[in-house]
Structure 1
Amino acid sequence: MQPIISFQQYEFKYKNQSEPTLKDITLDIYPGEKIWIAGPSGSGKSTLAHCMNGLIPFTYGGEATGSLRIGGQNPAERSIFELSRVVGTILQDQDAQFVGLNVAEDVAFVLENKAMDRPQMKQEVETALNLVGMLDYIEHSPHELSGGQKQHVSLAGVLSTDAEVLLFDEPLANLDPASGRKAMQLIDDIHRKSGKTVIMIEHRAEDVLQQAVDRIVLMNEGRIVSVGTPDEILSSGILRSYGLRPPLYVDALELAGVPIAELKGLSSPRKLDIPGLKDKLDAWSEQAGMKEETAISPALLEVRDITFGYDPLHPVIDRVSLQVGSGEIVALLGNNGAGKSTLSQLITGILKPQSGGLFYEGQDMGSWSIRRRGEAIGYVMQNPNRMITQHMIAEEIGLGLKVRGLSAAVIKEKVEAALRICGLYPFRNWPVSALSYGQKKRLTIASILVLEPKIIILDEPTAGQDYEHYKEFMDFIASLSRRGMGFLLITHDMYLALEYATRAVVLSGGRVMAEDSVTAVLSSPDITEAAHLKETSLSLFAKANGLASPEKFVQAFINEEKKGKGHE
């Protein structure tokens, strides 16, 4: 069988760069395969994808050596339009992909370019939308849809092209756990029903492997460092050495002293055929899974029974109560549309509750201005670029102090202290543009820390970051909590909550439907299903292997992880 995509000793160097971004790439992808391309940020995954879909050389110029064949032909000798008939791309930013005023127009775009007659076009559009479960939304504007729905419409648009290869760029970005699970299921259904070749670029191993994958292509520093089946890659332990996180149950097996080398069946949380495994894991869970007794901290922030709705008859937030204490990291969990962002706007004063109260160290904040609230409660947006206004790092951090009218000497002293805490002191004279995405996240924290709030709201703090950067950032947040700062963590990332949060508050339909330890919340199918969350793979693995207490198994994993991080 001829490969549909073939790289042979291929190298690519962007214009104005001294070093190639892709080095010595040799890879054959065959028709009907399902491939996951993995690797840390900057490993060359996106550049490899651009070579497959024609953005290189048609949009991004540079020098290529070696051989590349797409559908048996050299892409440089074809037009980008011809290439799009072989490789259809579903972008991470779906909004950048929409061209129609409504869903039907968007899906029909390629068919119109083919000058297809209207009755056939209507039939093809309906068939594609039906395949992705979006036929009911045919008249909706794409911009009214949720992240998961937008992705489904993008997929319908690509399916209408008859492309032989479907290339997904970060398909799970910005999706809540339930939508992410549905997206992976949909990709798998399309793969099985259509027989198309599917290529996914994603760094969330746990989520990609919810469905079967034929091969994993692992990249690092522009090279392919390993290619193998999920079992081969997971049992080799190679993912972690390249800054990627294996599924949590694989980590748990290693922490419990179970050798994983050459172990079969690791690609999903299923029953493993290992003599004595249940007894060994039960003993480990008993010994390591004791729940830590955490002293109840005095409440820094208290939300008491607040209700809010743009239409008073339909509350978005309905009698919600929660509190965050000194040194606590509280995870606010829930699906898209559960009310998490609205709640944070009520806390920061952007919106006013219709009833109920908000208290800071026991003081009623009802009459406080947004500015006064901002001094007490910091708010860090998901995208740091939306918060940064100054060109130089020190100026960005000192801006809030300058607005308060402090002297230059005091500002300099406070800015230097914040720079040291956030690990940015070596870059104090740099322009903001020279920082990486993760460093910009730290910069936004520094510009809030300098105002000395006692509590910070973090909105999706690790979105779009690979595991190494994610871990570095969250270990830094944990160190601030040990200094007595309180954090309210708005997140879709169940594993982030599991490893770093003290407690979880689950919102669903604007109400608090659960408040407990993160372990208890994410081990309960009733809660995870009702709130569109995802039961952890640790809990699923424990149940599949008949462990006495799945909750203790999850807790043992958290305790051992924290010990490894020096959180004790």
Structure 2
Amino acid sequence: MDRKVMIEFENYTFKYFSQAEPTLHEINLQIYEGEKVLIVGPSGSGKSTLGHCLNGLIPSSYKGETTGTLRIEGKDVSDQSIFERSGQVGTVLQDADGQFVGLSVGEDIAFSLENDGTDQVKMKELVDQVSALVDMDQHLKSSPFELSGGQKQRVSFAGIMVNDVPIMLFDEPLANLDPATGKTAIDLIDQIHQQFHKTMVIIEHRLEDVLYRHVDRIIVIEEGRIVAEGTPDALLAGAVLSRCGIREPLYVTAIKYAGVAPDESLRLGSIETLNIDQVKAPLLAWEKAQRKSPEKAEKEEILRISNLEFSYTKKRQILKGIDISIKAGEMVSIVGRNGAGKSTLAKVICGFVKEDAGDVFYKGQSLKGQTIKERSQIIGYVMQNPNQMICKPMIYDEIALGLRLRDVPEEEIEPRVEKVMKICGLTPFRKWPVSALSYGQKKRVTIASILVLNPHVLILDEPTAGQDYKHYTEIMEFLKELNDQGVTIILITHDMHLMLEYTPHAIVLSEGEKLGDASAAQILSNPEVAAAANLKVTSLYDLAQKIGLPEPSKFVQQFIDSEKEVR
């Protein structure tokens, strides 16, 4: 039986008016009814532009020149309005806050129904049904902006499901979610797919997290062209993903370290489908051959948080008796669910808010009474949302701003800014306005604007959110270089890869309390701590269990040590 083609690009090329070269080149692609497709590619590859073509933002909001044909449900859409397209393709954006229009959850879900003039009784029924499906029926009167990241995502899902669109497009749905909430989001996408047989198109960097549930096909885009497509099993057995800078799942890397040649018969697409019998013996032999990592000399304490307590209002305490010791030159990750108090802890350390009790010490000296400006001489802070930091229209001026405020001579500013722009992958955009950048590119601008100041302690809130593996690696390798030179780095992150690969020391917060303080390998090999903090045990832990190792955390640490040697 022939499958119905829902989306068809035929010799499709698109060039933005502001650019000299096309962003998409000769795209030929068919996506079938009920198919779940993952689109991956490095930043700037054109995958988001492809999404904009699908949902009508191109040409409605982003103007340019198009050749070739795009058909949705068999119809050429070149003359379609964005309103007509919204009846075919529903979009969940990367930044959920940018998608809300209602003052309450119920209003937001009902927005498109109101525009269509839907009867009030029918509208309420539909909103109740859809909100219950995404488990948000108890929050219909809440403001969308008071919700957690995962709840915001659910409201966005409901907002497009209420119209019963046949195609659902998810543009980096995991970018701002903690690991467990991201896992729930993938579960929800899978549930909707199975229950309603909709056509699902997912654009996402985090390959391993998406492959937690079945995907029919992966489409790889590089430099505006489709360079590969196939099943997860087939693509993970080949070299195209790593060649394009896409981070393969950790268990696949571990299998390669053990000397196993990747093959489609291994069923690498998921840890659950993996053919363990073919990899067990080589993995056990590799594990046995690994050397124990040498003990490192104890360093002096640079930052100590003692019995710290803080609340924004009397009704809810955010931080509860936090005690943390960080050594000079450490790279530390602070992890935990959305709302656990991670960003608030950083704000207290920087002096943005004042603690209710306890103290923060820098090299044994209390920071009580020091102004934000005084603390900024030693502690740099990069916020999670780049839009909250950027205040200059041009990229160069934004990065140079801190130096200019400190009266650094202009002849010294230029080489420092140029060096940091190169490291953060921003040199091609030197003369661009900030408004022309993507969310991920803006993130790199904010990191550059703090790195250029050479702080002693650097706190970064989600430094790699929205970054592809290439830029993620560039930023993290630069941070590691800084760290090797003695800069103490604290990373607030949801990225378990980052936590494992770069931060030997991990601190876990849950409900404002310190839940764990150990090595990253130990934390991500502890199902109880992971569950309590909305983390997700690493797939290396699952792999170690499947091959019968008694100490999974030891196997995870051996993998991390091997990664460092390879890097």
TM-score per shorter chain, which class? over 0.9
CA distance in 2, matches of 1:360, 1:136: 45
CA distance in 2, matches of 1:274, 1:87: 40
CA distance in 1, matches of 2:95, 2:222: 24
Moved more, 138-147 or 512-521: 138-147
**SS at 1:26 equivalent:** strand
CA distance in 1, matches of 2:381, 2:565: 29
**CA-to-partner distance for each residue in 1:21-40, whole Å, 9 max, x for gaps?**
21111111111110111111
Matching residue of 1:244? 246
Structure 1 alignment gaps of length 5 or more: none
Moved more, 25-34 or 537-546: 537-546
**SS at 1:161 equivalent:** coil
Matching residue of 1:324? 326
1:130 equivalent in alignment to 2:132:
yes
**SS at 1:263 equivalent:** helix
Check whether the contact 1:282–1:548 (CA below 8 A) recurs between aligned residues.
Answer: no
Matching residue of 2:159? 157
CA distance in 2, matches of 1:212, 1:427: 39
Matching residue of 2:496? 494
Matching residue of 2:5? 3
CA distance in 1, matches of 2:380, 2:396: 18
Matching residue of 1:67? 69
Moved more, 333-342 or 136-145: 136-145
Check whether the contact 1:270–1:545 (CA below 8 A) recurs between aligned residues.
Answer: no
**SS at 1:82 equivalent:** helix
Q: 1:428 to 1:297 in 2, by over 3 A?
A: farther
Instruction: Compute the displacement of 1:380 (Å).
Output: 1.7
Question: 1:433 corresponds to which letter in structure 2?
Answer: P
Within 5 Å, give how 1:113-192 maps onto structure 2. 113-192=115-194
CA distance in 2, matches of 1:99, 1:108: 10
Question: 1:515 corresponds to which letter in structure 2?
Answer: D
Q: 1:450 to 1:259 in 2, by over 3 A?
A: closer
**SS at 2:347 equivalent:** helix
CA distance in 2, matches of 1:248, 1:187: 23
Instruction: Compute the displacement of 1:444 (Å).
Output: 4.6
Matching residue of 1:355? 357
Matching residue of 1:22? 24
CA distance in 2, matches of 1:484, 1:150: 39
Q: 1:117 to 1:558 in 2, by over 3 A?
A: same
Moved more, 351-360 or 194-203: 351-360
Within 5 Å, give how 1:27-42 maps onto structure 2. 27-42=29-44
Instruction: Compute the displacement of 1:16 (Å).
Output: 4.3
Q: 1:111 to 1:531 in 2, by over 3 A?
A: same
Instruction: Compute the displacement of 1:20 (Å).
Output: 2.1
Check whether the contact 2:400–2:417 (CA below 8 A) recurs between aligned residues.
Answer: no
CA distance in 2, matches of 1:424, 1:41: 16
Q: 1:289 to 1:180 in 2, by over 3 A?
A: farther
**SS at 1:77 equivalent:** coil
Matching residue of 1:46? 48
Check whether the contact 1:329–1:501 (CA below 8 A) recurs between aligned residues.
Answer: yes
CA distance in 1, matches of 2:490, 2:143: 34
Matching residue of 2:306? 304
Within 5 Å, give how 1:91-102 maps onto structure 2. 91-102=93-104
Question: 1:326 corresponds to which letter in structure 2?
Answer: A
CA distance in 2, matches of 1:290, 1:351: 43
Matching residue of 2:210? 208
CA distance in 2, matches of 1:373, 1:191: 50
Moved more, 369-378 or 430-439: 430-439
Which of 504, 507, 530 is equivalent to 1:505? 507
Check whether the contact 2:505–2:518 (CA below 8 A) recurs between aligned residues.
Answer: yes
Q: 1:499 to 1:158 in 2, by over 3 A?
A: same
Matching residue of 1:77? 79
Question: 2:338 corresponds to which letter in structure 1?
Answer: N
Instruction: Compute the displacement of 1:386 (Å).
Output: 4.0
Question: 2:147 corresponds to which letter in structure 1?
Answer: L
Question: 1:464 corresponds to which letter in structure 2?
Answer: G
Q: 1:455 to 1:2 in 2, by over 3 A?
A: same
Q: 1:17 to 1:418 in 2, by over 3 A?
A: closer
Check whether the contact 2:17–2:64 (CA below 8 A) recurs between aligned residues.
Answer: yes
Q: 1:351 to 1:59 in 2, by over 3 A?
A: closer
CA distance in 1, matches of 2:20, 2:261: 43
Check whether the contact 1:180–1:207 (CA below 8 A) recurs between aligned residues.
Answer: yes
Question: 1:246 corresponds to which letter in structure 2?
Answer: E
Instruction: Compute the displacement of 1:252 (Å).
Output: 1.0
Matching residue of 1:526? 528
Instruction: Compute the displacement of 1:372 (Å).
Output: 1.3
Instruction: Compute the displacement of 1:391 (Å).
Output: 6.3
Question: 2:556 corresponds to which letter in structure 1?
Answer: V
Structure 2 alignment gaps of length 5 or more: none
Length, aligned pairs only: 562
Matching residue of 2:551? 549
Check whether the contact 2:245–2:469 (CA below 8 A) recurs between aligned residues.
Answer: yes
CA distance in 2, matches of 1:442, 1:200: 24
**CA-to-partner distance for each residue in 1:259-311, whole Å, 9 max, x for gaps?**
11323321111364355632321231233262442222111111111111234
Q: 1:287 to 1:325 in 2, by over 3 A?
A: same
Question: 2:67 corresponds to which letter in structure 1?
Answer: T
**SS at 1:320 equivalent:** strand
**CA-to-partner distance for each residue in 1:203-258, whole Å, 9 max, x for gaps?**
11011101000011111111111110110111113211011011111011111211
Q: 1:156 to 1:274 in 2, by over 3 A?
A: closer
CA distance in 2, matches of 1:104, 1:399: 42
CA distance in 2, matches of 1:217, 1:100: 35
Matching residue of 1:198? 200
Question: 2:24 corresponds to which letter in structure 1?
Answer: L
**CA-to-partner distance for each residue in 1:26-63, whole Å, 9 max, x for gaps?**
11111111011111111111121122222223332322
1:222 equivalent in alignment to 2:240:
no
Check whether the contact 1:271–1:544 (CA below 8 A) recurs between aligned residues.
Answer: no
**CA-to-partner distance for each residue in 1:507-550, whole Å, 9 max, x for gaps?**
00111111000000001001000111111111112212323432
Check whether the contact 1:391–1:431 (CA below 8 A) recurs between aligned residues.
Answer: no
**CA-to-partner distance for each residue in 1:340-365, whole Å, 9 max, x for gaps?**
11111110111122221111111111
Question: 1:80 corresponds to which letter in structure 2?
Answer: I
CA distance in 2, matches of 1:447, 1:99: 32
Check whether the contact 1:44–1:219 (CA below 8 A) recurs between aligned residues.
Answer: yes
1:453 equivalent in alignment to 2:455:
yes
Check whether the contact 2:10–2:70 (CA below 8 A) recurs between aligned residues.
Answer: yes
Give % identity: 48
Instruction: Compute the displacement of 1:564 (Å).
Output: 1.3
CA distance in 2, matches of 1:417, 1:95: 34
**SS at 2:113 equivalent:** helix
CA distance in 1, matches of 2:219, 2:20: 26
Question: 2:357 corresponds to which letter in structure 1?
Answer: S
Matching residue of 1:372? 374
Check whether the contact 1:539–1:550 (CA below 8 A) recurs between aligned residues.
Answer: yes
Instruction: Compute the displacement of 1:417 (Å).
Output: 5.5
Instruction: Compute the displacement of 1:143 (Å).
Output: 1.7
Instruction: Compute the displacement of 1:7 (Å).
Output: 1.4
**SS at 2:317 equivalent:** coil
Moved more, 123-132 or 90-99: 90-99
Matching residue of 2:542? 540
